[in-house]
Amino acid sequence: MSFILEILKATIPAGTPLLLGALGEIYTERSGILNLGVEGMMIMGAVSAFGITAITGNVWLGVLVSAIVGGGMALIHAFNSITLKANQTLSGLSLTMLGLGLSGLIGKRYVGVPLLNKLHSLPIYGLKDIPLIGPILFDQDPLVYISYLLTFVFWFFLFNTRFGIELRSVGESPDVADSAGIDVSKIQYLAVFIGGIMAGLGGAYLSVVYAPAWIEGMTAGMGWIVLAITIFSLWRPERAILGSYLFGGIRVLQYKLQPFGISPNLLNMLPFIFTILVLMLASKEISRKRISAPSSLGIPYFREKL
Amino acid sequence: MLKRYRNLGLSILVILLGIFAIYLVSGVRPDVMLRSIVTSAFGSIYGLSETLTKAIPLMLCGLGLSLSFRSSVWNIGAEGQLLMGAVGATWIVLYVMPNAPKLVLIPIMFLVGAICGGIWALIPAILKVKFNLNEIIVSLMLNYIAIEFVNYLVYGPWKSPYEWGFPYSTKFPTSAQLPRILDTRIHYPTLILALILAIIIYIILYKSKLGYEIRVIGDNIDAARYAGLDIHRIILLVFLLSGGLAGLAGVGEVAGIHHRLRVASGISSGYGYTAVIVAWLGCLDPLLIILVSFLFGGLLVGGDAIQVSLGLPGATINFINSLILIFVLVQGFSNARIPSIRKRKSER
């Protein structure tokens, strides 16, 4: 029993970087922009959070800077795809390559550096004593609680506010939104920027809380898993929880299975094989429920065509 | 016209900012770095031969990817397909016909490598066609899986007992080693193969029905559908071909250079990813891709050189590569094709 509890408890932090990234990408894609640069934004978030924390000793400053860096990276993509109307797939890929290259360059001096200040777990008094779920959900670090809160905020704004309606309508049919007086580019810029902030935060969580260490290429495909979770969540923030913790669980399982003599290389394949399975599940559900990706996803919007 | 100049200005700005960023982070002066890259890659016979050696896998992968990008499907899995080609060749050489004569073994090795790479590429294609899965994510996931698979083999079942515990497979017999030009590492059979294939692909693309269909699908998928083209069949074929070409590159690396299977990062220094940039900078044109490969081969050689001589990390060259891709993007080389990667409107 305590073994299962231990796995579940470890699942939450393992899934948190994915959750943060997926929330952001959901907003980005809801606005009709596809950003394949999540991996690059996450790793830049990771290296900047680690660097700032190592220099200043202030974890929260590191986290803040990672959000700014992630958002800044996303603005490159926003400029490429919204202003220049360039190919979004290629722009996203270039962002990933940029992030992986630049973070390796910046991070060289932080390889093997220990982090003196860490985020400690902060059990919430009262809530943590709820049987079963208490110790799993409410005996974590502050950033995990923030991720719960953000999930709610993202869900609330998407479905219950004017901004949410505008965001969704821009993603579904930008021409209709435009003729209704919505500033399409502004909404898209904002959505892509939010996506970058969240990816940066996800990276920060990885390097200053989860690891905590800087390792070159430490995101190791997590950005791509975020993209898969975005599809699996059917572009709904509340469903991103399910996808993220599923992959968090896989990651925990990977470590827990190691002592049983299975090749670590084969275990490392697990999340990637699982990504493909999850995409197939999502595809089944998408065709059964007759829902779809935001209609204008990946297609640049030309006002002249009105 | 004004837009053209704006974009040119922007892309030059990107490159300058990038180089300045390297200076800020590492303290290495840009002119020193650039000179080091150029002289090490193009400044000596040895440098040129290494540049050409590294251009070979880039040519093969880039050619394959250009076919896929032409038809607006995104195979980002050349890295994994290359590795699976290497695995296929190793399997044939060490475990199926180790005693075959050279003239039999080498062609079979290339054939099996191409088949393995092609099958690996068919996975995302089938999943796309059958279940409408995003081929970009799937082909990337398969890269990671292929990397782990190669590492599993060389640390596990294929680890040689004669290599002092290194993660190497047993060395290939001389009958499986590709000949090289003099004492360079240019394994010319692969090079010749790449050049011939470039011409064949050029002919396919511009002179054949298949090439015409590929171009129609790439330019306007709705038009292709109304014209009654079997889009699924062409997507499968394009992935098969592009994976096969990457597989050939993998065979060249193990049979021409390493003469054994080793860890994935030792076989390919990201050739499959660099080839994405090669294909686009080459405007998806087979003959231009050959030229651009040579340039990027040089960048990879220069990247190794600045690690040794200037102490810059290996990621520097990846960073420079990504700047070039952004340059391509801002210049609008890729604007003609605007594929949407999930379900298209008309499919719903």
Measure Cα distances from A95 to A81, A83, A102, A194, B318 in Å: 12, 16, 10, 16, 12
Say how far apart CA A167 and CA A194 lie, in whole Å.
12
Among B134, B155, B320, beta carbon nearest to A265 = B155
Q: Determine the residue of chain A that is closest to B303 in CA distance.
A: A101
Per domain, the residue ranges of chain A are: 2-305
A221: which 2 tokens? 């495909």
Q: Is B140 on the interface with A (CB under 8 A)?
A: yes
| pLDDT (average), residues B99-127 | 96
**Does the pLDDT at position A255 exceed 90?**
no
Q: Determine the residue of chain A that is closest to B146 in CA distance.
A: A269
- B233 in a structural domain: yes
Residues of chain B with Cβ-Cβ distance to A254 below 8 Å are none
Say how far apart CA A163 and CA A194 lie, in whole Å.
13
Contact partners, residue B284, CB within 8 Å, separation at least 6: B66, B69, B70
Q: Which domain holds residue B231?
A: 59-286
Task: Tell me if B22 and A105 make a contact (CB, 8 A cut-off).
Answer: yes
Task: Tell me if B141 and A224 make a contact (CB, 8 A cut-off).
Answer: yes
Measure Cα distances from B152 to A265, A275, B93 in Å: 5, 20, 18
pTM, whole model, 2 decimals? 0.92
* pLDDT more than 90, % of chain B: 72
Contact partners, residue A136, CB within 8 Å, separation at least 6: A5, A8, A9, A12
Considering only residues 279 to 298 of chain B, which have any Cβ-Cβ distance to chain A shorter than 8 Å?
280
Cα A267 off chain centre by: 23
What integer best gives the mean pLDDT of chain A? 91
- B91 in a structural domain: yes
| pLDDT (average), residues B180-200 | 95
Among B26, B148, B335, beta carbon nearest to A86 = B335
What pLDDT score does B17 carry? 86
Q: Which fold has domain A2-305?
A: ABC transporter involved in vitamin B12 uptake, BtuC (1.10.3470)
Say how far apart CA A159 and CA A173 lie, in whole Å.
17
| pLDDT (average), residues B196-214 | 93
Buried b (16+ CB within 10 A) or exposed e, B42-77: eeeeebbbbbbbbbbbbbbbbbbbbbbbbbbbbbbb
C-beta neighbour count of B105 within 10 angstroms: 23
Per the model's pLDDT, the better-predicted residue between B245 and B311 turns out to be: B245
Buried b (16+ CB within 10 A) or exposed e, A182-216: bebeebbbbbbbbbbbbbbbbbbbbbbbbebbbbb
| pLDDT (average), residues B253-266 | 95
Whether A78 contacts A200, CB under 8 Å: no
pLDDT-derived band at B333 (thresholds 50, 70, 90) equals: low
* pLDDT more than 90, % of chain A: 70
What is the complex's ipTM, to 2 decimals? Answer: 0.92
**Phi, psi angles (nearest 5°) of residue B6:** -60, -45
Q: Is A76 on the interface with B (CB under 8 A)?
A: yes
**Does the pLDDT at position B331 exceed 90?**
no
Of A225, A270, A261, A269, which is closest to residue B149 (Cα–Cα)? Answer: A269
Among B317, B326, B342, beta carbon nearest to A94 = B326
User: If you write DSSP's letter for every residue of A174-222 in order, what string do you get?
Assistant: HHHHHHTT--HHHHHHHHHHHHHHHHHHHHHIIIIIIS-S--TTTTTTH
- Taking the alpha carbons at both ends of chain B, their separation in whole angstroms is 39
Give the closest-approach CA distance of A33 to chain B in angstroms.
Answer: 10
Interval A73-129: pLDDT, tens:
999 999 999 998 888 999 999 999 999 999 999 998 899 888 877 787 888 777 777
Lowest mean pLDDT among A44-53, A247-256, B22-31, B330-339: B330-339
Q: Determine the residue of chain A that is closest to B25 in CA distance.
A: A106
Among B151, B315, B321, beta carbon nearest to A216 = B315
Interval A177-206: pLDDT, tens:
999 999 999 999 999 999 999 999 999 999
Task: Tell me if A283 and B276 make a contact (CB, 8 A cut-off).
Answer: no
Residues of chain A with Cβ-Cβ distance to B140 below 8 Å are 221, 224
Task: Tell me if A298 and B342 make a contact (CB, 8 A cut-off).
Answer: yes
- B310 in a structural domain: no
What pLDDT score does B341 carry? 34
Q: Per the structure, how many domains does chain B have?
A: 1
Whether A209 contacts A143, CB under 8 Å: yes
**Phi, psi angles (nearest 5°) of residue B140:** -70, -40
What integer best gives the mean pLDDT of chain B? 90
Which residue type, as a one-letter code, is found at position B341? I
pLDDT-derived band at B343 (thresholds 50, 70, 90) equals: very low
Residues of chain A with Cβ-Cβ distance to B348 below 8 Å are 292
Contact partners, residue A103, CB within 8 Å, separation at least 6: A43, A44, A46, A47, A216, B315
**Does the pLDDT at position B223 exceed 90?**
no
What pLDDT score does B6 carry? 73
What pLDDT score does A127 carry? 78
Task: Tell me if B321 and A101 make a contact (CB, 8 A cut-off).
Answer: yes
Q: Determine the residue of chain A that is closest to B332 in CA distance.
A: A86
